[in-house]
A and B are shown apart, each in its own frame.
Chain A
Amino acid sequence: MMLYSTVPSNQQSTGGDPDEFRKLDLIKKDVRQPRRQRERRELPPPRYKKMSTTQDWPSVWPVARTFHPASVPLPLHQGYVPSHVPVPNKFGNLELMKIPNFLHLTPPAIQRHCEALKKFCTPWPAELKKEREIDNEFPVTIMTSDFCHSSPSIRDHRARIITIRFKLATMNFDEHARDKFLRLVGDRYDVESDFVTIVTDCCPLRQQNLDHAMYLITALYYESKSVEPWENEKLEEDMEKYVWGKSLSKERLNNILNVIYENKSNNLDYLKSVNKEALTPDGIVSIEPVQNYMEAIETIHNKGETLDTVSNYGNSVRELFKLPAA
């Protein structure tokens, strides 16, 4: 500690001779008091040195926070360290502060959170354990997306899009309705998986898109069910596939069978057990050889000629008219 006297310095310099005249010091020299030094306290040791090993870490670091070297009792560093350089310690390591840390989400902390959250959860119904049970009971799947990211707005225009998917087999359709439905949905139907997928994104809000999609499904369903008067004008050449039941071939076969039936030399066994009334164009379909013939000829028309289909066709004709085997 230094001591200062209150006597001006010029008096000191002139010495303490009382006999001398005192000088009149007009231009006083600027004598500055040295600044008071602020007392420097010693820094306390970092907090992590006082921590016990049995402390409750989630209460030390309860929420997300930037890394602080003094409160984390771990020898951390981040970044590449060449082999000949000593590993830096965690103090003054800026990279550790930049990266988001998960010190608030330690395993005991997660467990504690989840135990508190468990009372808001409900179990999945036991009746719907298997995938098939879910699909049977709830055939419609609605797909929506939520987006969570840092941006000035919490809205995301992609969240409005609704995708609805269901299997066509779940709809109660006959052949006509199914055909009409497929024509209406176009490429929204996938043949392999039997899924119909409808995407609606024309409205600005999700609920509106959902309502619109439900409206579309309803409209498609009832439109497919209805039969317009012009749909009965469909001719054989308008058919998208060969249907033997609507072809001229059926009537001709009926005529032939009638002729054979009335002939005395009827050698067809299946015709002997058939009534005369059954030999009409619609009635002959129930006779077994005719059914086989029908299937064979429809396959050859619709699926193309292969060795199998052609030989099937030949066999069915031989069976029909009791011809000798090839």
Chain B
Amino acid sequence: MTCESAEREVQYKCAEIADITSQEERYHLNSRVKTATMLRSRSLVQIPVRTLSITGQSFCYNKPRKVFGEPLGSTPGSHPERSNWLQWTDPLPIQEHARDVKLKDSLKPALEEPKGPRLDKLYKTIELEALAYEPAVLDSYEWFVVAAATHLGITVGKRWNPEKSDKMRFNLLRSVHIFKKHQVHYEVRTYHRFINLHKLTGSTADTFLEYIERNLPEGVGLKVTKFEVQRLPEHIESSSSNNQP
């Protein structure tokens, strides 16, 4: 990074804290500075950096701090022109924060633990998709998963793999940057395995998935799709026809 742009970045960060720069000024900054601030889109410019995740997604919500006792504008550093739900300060250490929380009485019942026994979840189906560059490793892993499921009394349903692997191909020049006629052709193959498991309770699923995920070999990815079954919410009247066969 050049001296100038580094300087600008410092300026930018200062400005962000002190709320000096306008939006337009920020856009004219060096592109490197923009990448340094995680490629924020135009709509996200007003949001402070700390509310953005690594992926650049926003984690701000419309009504965050109304639960706290202090009025919103009074926090030192908050900018009056900002929309009032955004606090423009460094976040307090969590412990201090927690001590200051004064919940409104009306919010308390909503945050309490629901009474009665905690019900287990019910998974109608769990679909495992394992993918790797080595089909032999996938074979062994599939064998392991099925053996473990059988020992734990889980119903193993359909198992299949696509007939063809996913192939990512690309060409590169054999030479550094000339001789277009001479190229190398690379190919990366990804193999998939699908396993369906049926009728698992929440605790069985957690135990089993923890076990097979911990024993996932190197270079193998796993996608677990859960099909949880639930009742309709209480306030929605379900028809009587659903109790008939």
Contacts and interface: CB of A to CB of B under 8 A. Distances in A.
Interface of A: 64, 99-100, 102, 105, 107, 110-111, 113-115, 117-118, 120-125, 128, 132, 134-150, 153, 157, 166-167, 169-173, 204, 214, 217-218, 221
Is chain A's binding surface mostly helix, strand, loop or mixed?
mixed
B180 interface: no
A113 B243 contact: no
A141 B227 CA distance: 6
A148 B152 contact: no
Interface in B204-224: 204, 206-209, 211, 213, 215-224
Interface string B35-70: 000000000000000000111011100000000000
A217 B233 contact: yes
A110 B147 CA distance: 7
A149 B222 contact: yes
Contact of B239 (A138, A150, A170): A170
B120 interface: yes
B136 interface: yes
A150 B219 contact: yes
A147 B222 contact: yes
Task: Please name the 9 residue pairs, one residue from A and one from B, whose CB atoms are nearest each other, closest first.
Answer: A114-B151, A149-B221, A138-B229, A100-B217, A172-B239, A121-B204, A148-B222, A120-B207, A146-B224
The SS class assigned to the B binding surface is: mixed
A145 B201 contact: no
14 contacts: A99-B137, A110-B148, A118-B151, A118-B152, A124-B201, A138-B229, A139-B238, A143-B227, A145-B225, A148-B224, A170-B238, A171-B232, A204-B58, A217-B232
B237 interface: yes
Contacts of A217: 232-233, 236
A223 B224 CA distance: 35
A12 B200 CA distance: 92
Contacts of A121: 152-153, 201, 203-204, 207-208
A99 B134 CA distance: 9
